[in-house]
Amino acid sequence: MRYLITGTAGFVGFHLAKRLLEDGHSVTGFDGMTSYYDVRLKQMRHSILERHPNFTAVIGMLEDAPALKNAANERPDVIVHLAGQAGVRYSVENPKAYFDSNITGSWNVLELARTLDVSHLMLASTSSIYGANQSIPYSENDRADEQLTFYAASKKAMEAMAHSYSHIYRIPTTAFRFFTVYGPWGRPDMALFKFTKAILEDREIEIYGEGRMSRDFTYIDDLVASIVDLSRIVPSEANRVKTAAVKDTLSAMAPFRMVNIGGGQPFGLLEFIEVIEEAVGKKAKRKLLPMQTGDMEKTFANADLLVALTGSKPQTSLEKGVRAFVDWYVREGTSFEFHTLPPAS
């Protein structure tokens, strides 16, 4: 099949494109190469993909509708929209970057899907959407109207816009909500990258929320496997889940579905740090700090719908996944710059 993936120079997009190319598909990758973090890391990811004859790279911003349209010259069967302004905390400092990319840019993707009449549109959402929700574990059917950051709000807006397009234009659409993805080639602004780098350089690690936070960590290979499985399950009444114990999110008005991708096994932040210490072979110098604005104290996925649809869920142990990241970091990741922010506009 022909795939158009936005964000192929990013962490998730790189791994998904690599898997699809290895499976025999053709992939056009669209990416803006923004400077939110070290661009050299993005360039290296793309250079690996470009070794494959069935990969085509197009550089452009999501806000640039003509550039995005140019990436679809091969008329893709499936669009996987992974690009966007990442980072929860940065959205407090520069919300406009999130509006431009995650709302305006996502609307451009919806328009492209409409004009191309694709067989399946897939959208990357986030567990941050659950915000102030008090129901644990987070289920796709939970009320999610109290986002704590503009990042989460921009993703919720994307989901709502996508449902309207799915209803009006009958675009089969799956929105999947990620839960703290990690692994080799990960982002330098994420905790695993920052902690590993600091420990190896004998610097303090900053632990927000005094270590009370917990996260449902998802290893990148598991995430990609779930996306690939879901890509084959085009939302329709024919595949509505009818098991009494699982409530499907398939819309009554549109071929639209939301699915959590997470293992349903949260780990405390201090436990996470201990796993990193074991993999690195060195103790961390810890600095406990208060909770930051917009941080969620806990994330915890209910993966019942994912299992009902695909028969599986993320299962890689935290120890195995962290070890894989540390091995990659020591081998290839030490030269990349720490999290850098462009100026707010």
Give the pLDDT score at 344.
47
Residue range 282-327, pLDDT digits in tens: 999 999 999 888 788 889 999 999 999 999 999 999 999 999 999 9
Distance between alpha carbon 95 and the CA centroid of its chain, in Å?
19
Give the pLDDT score at 71.
94
Is residue 277 a part of any domain in this protein? yes
Give the pLDDT score at 88.
82
Q: Phi/psi of residue 233, each to 5°? A: -110, 80
Is residue 144 a contact partner of residue 130, using CB atoms and an 8 Å limit? yes
Q: Is the pLDDT of residue 106 over 90?
A: yes
- Number of domains within the chain: 2
Domain containing 291 equals 182-215+264-301+316-333
Give the pLDDT score at 52.
97
Give the pLDDT score at 337.
64
Q: Which residues are catalytic?
A: 151
Q: Is the pLDDT of residue 345 over 50?
A: no
Residue range 18-39, pLDDT digits in tens: 999 999 999 999 999 998 888 9
Q: Which residues contact 32 (CB under 8 A, 6 or more apart)?
A: 59, 60, 61, 62, 83
Give the pLDDT score at 242.
93
Residue range 258-277, pLDDT digits in tens: 999 999 999 999 999 999 99
Q: Is the pLDDT of residue 342 over 70?
A: no
Averaged pLDDT score across all residues of the chain: 94
Confidence at 109, pLDDT banded by 50, 70, 90? very high
For the ranges 145-149, 247-251, 309-313, the lowest mean pLDDT is seen at: 145-149
Do 115 and 159 reside in the same domain of the chain?
yes
Is residue 164 a part of any domain in this protein? yes
CATH of the domain at 53: 3.40.50.720
Q: What is the pTM of this model?
A: 0.95
Do 144 and 204 reside in the same domain of the chain?
no
The proportion of the chain whose per-residue pLDDT surpasses 90, expressed as a percent, equals 85
Do 88 and 231 reside in the same domain of the chain?
yes
Mean pLDDT, residues 325-339 taken together: 84
Question: What is the separation, in whole angstroms, between the first and last Cα of the chain?
Answer: 40
Residue given tokens 């025999």 in the structure block: 24
Do 205 and 70 reside in the same domain of the chain?
no
Mean pLDDT, residues 8-20 taken together: 98
Is residue 82 a part of any domain in this protein? yes
Q: Is the pLDDT of residue 118 over 70?
A: yes
Is residue 345 a part of any domain in this protein? no
Mean pLDDT, residues 205-234 taken together: 95
Do 210 and 285 reside in the same domain of the chain?
yes
Is residue 340 a part of any domain in this protein? no
Is residue 166 a contact partner of residue 329, using CB atoms and an 8 Å limit? no
Is residue 311 a part of any domain in this protein? no
Is residue 98 a part of any domain in this protein? yes
Do 158 and 130 reside in the same domain of the chain?
yes
